[in-house]
Amino acid sequence: MMWKTTVLLLLFHLLSSTGTENSKHLNQSEINEELSDAPVKSQKPPGGAKGWDSCTIPCDITVKLLRDEKHSICGQLQQSLLAFGRSTRKLMRDVMEEQQKALDILSTQVTELMTKVQALSFEVQRSNTEMYSVKPVQSHGRDCSDIKESLMTVVPKIPSGIYIVHPENTDSSFEVFCEMDYMGGGWTVIQRRTDGLTDFKRPWADYANGFGNLAGEHWLGLKKVFHLVNQKDTRFQLHIALVSSDDVTSYAAYDDFYLDNETQFFCIHLGRYAGSAGDAFRGYEQEQNQDTAPFSASDVDNDGCNPFCSIENRTVESCSTQQNHTGWWFNQCGLANLNGSPEDAELNRDQRMHILWDTWRQNGIPHTIKAVTMKIRRIATNN
């Protein structure tokens, strides 16, 4: 289009030059005639209509050509933009498809790793079971503290493991896991949560009698704990060890601990608190205090929600149901439940499914707890 415009402009210039050359050859008589006829010819355009027409026609053509060229350029630009848009969308689709493929590969790898981790967890639990509980240590005592005192004079290092205890004023003995390494040893483990492989969604009878694997996750049983802590002339302390998901450790300890009997629903009684995790059993307010609370399970409700409680702006009829159908010493639910699941606390925000010790916080946010152990030890003999 540009070369056409250039040719037309050159033609226009040549035509103008020709008109000027012809005007120079006009003789004097013609000039005089023009001057004599001036009043009449002044009504016509100067230079005659022929020169005017030779200017007007090329200008119109030039404008038309420029307009056509503009439209052509705009059309080409529009086509280029459309082509660019199509190529951009295709590029984005290709990138998204590649990212989706990469995510699918990562998802498959994560699933495979989770399967391997679960298999390893089962293997670790099986190994622990074989290591500790193939055969319990045939050493009798009233509790783990008594066993430690009996063996320390004849054994240089007393191993942790499963022992047989026979508390006073009971007709039978039973097995317990004795922790002989932690803080001087002599601890009887009454609860342990580590990997979530043992189901703590249990009825009252299971919590009363006990369940699980003593070398791994287990609940010793309220009846057994009652017999241990209510022996004559004895006093027990309770120690709670916590581990967060980022491997931070903390503890809560009570210098006195005992339970009422089953007719009183194994009410819990706690002494003075010490530790770094906060006193979640007693909470911040009186209605959160779980000290002296009776035990509740999914089928035996003693949680004090009559007919319901309001927890975090939600109506709760049963604390056990709201907290993953686990058993605990609930009082209007409260701030502690160590029988929750050690799995991710974000799985279900409407239910408190996770291990709960609400006073253990970092920057105002409760820690996500992945493991907990509750153990007791005889600390005094009342004479």
Q: Is pLDDT larger for residue 74 or for residue 1?
A: 74
Task: Tokens for 357, please give them.
Answer: 């010790």
Amino acid at 9: L
- CA-nearest of 354, 352, 350 to 333 is 352
Q: What is the pLDDT of residue 56?
A: 55
What average pLDDT score do residues 171-197 get? 93
Q: Is pLDDT larger for residue 174 or for residue 345?
A: 174
What's the rounded Cα separation, in Å, for the pair 164 and 168?
Answer: 13
Q: Is the peptide bond before 307 cis (omega within 30 degrees of 0)?
A: yes
Task: Tokens for 118, please give them.
Answer: 């679960």
Q: pTM above 0.85?
A: no
CA 337 to centroid of chain Cα atoms: 21
- CA-nearest of 294, 283, 300 to 260 is 294
Q: Is pLDDT larger for residue 273 or for residue 70?
A: 273
CA 316 to centroid of chain Cα atoms: 25
Residue 81 in this model has a pLDDT that exceeds 70: yes
Tell me which fold the domain 136-380 belongs to: Gamma Fibrinogen; Chain A, domain 1 (3.90.215)
Residue 167 in this model has a pLDDT that exceeds 70: yes
What's the rounded Cα separation, in Å, for the pair 16 and 249?
Answer: 101
Residue 154 in this model has a pLDDT that exceeds 90: no
Q: What is the pLDDT of residue 18?
A: 46
What's the pLDDT tens digit per position in 293-325? 999 999 999 988 888 887 777 888 889 988 999
Mean pLDDT computed over every residue of the chain? 82
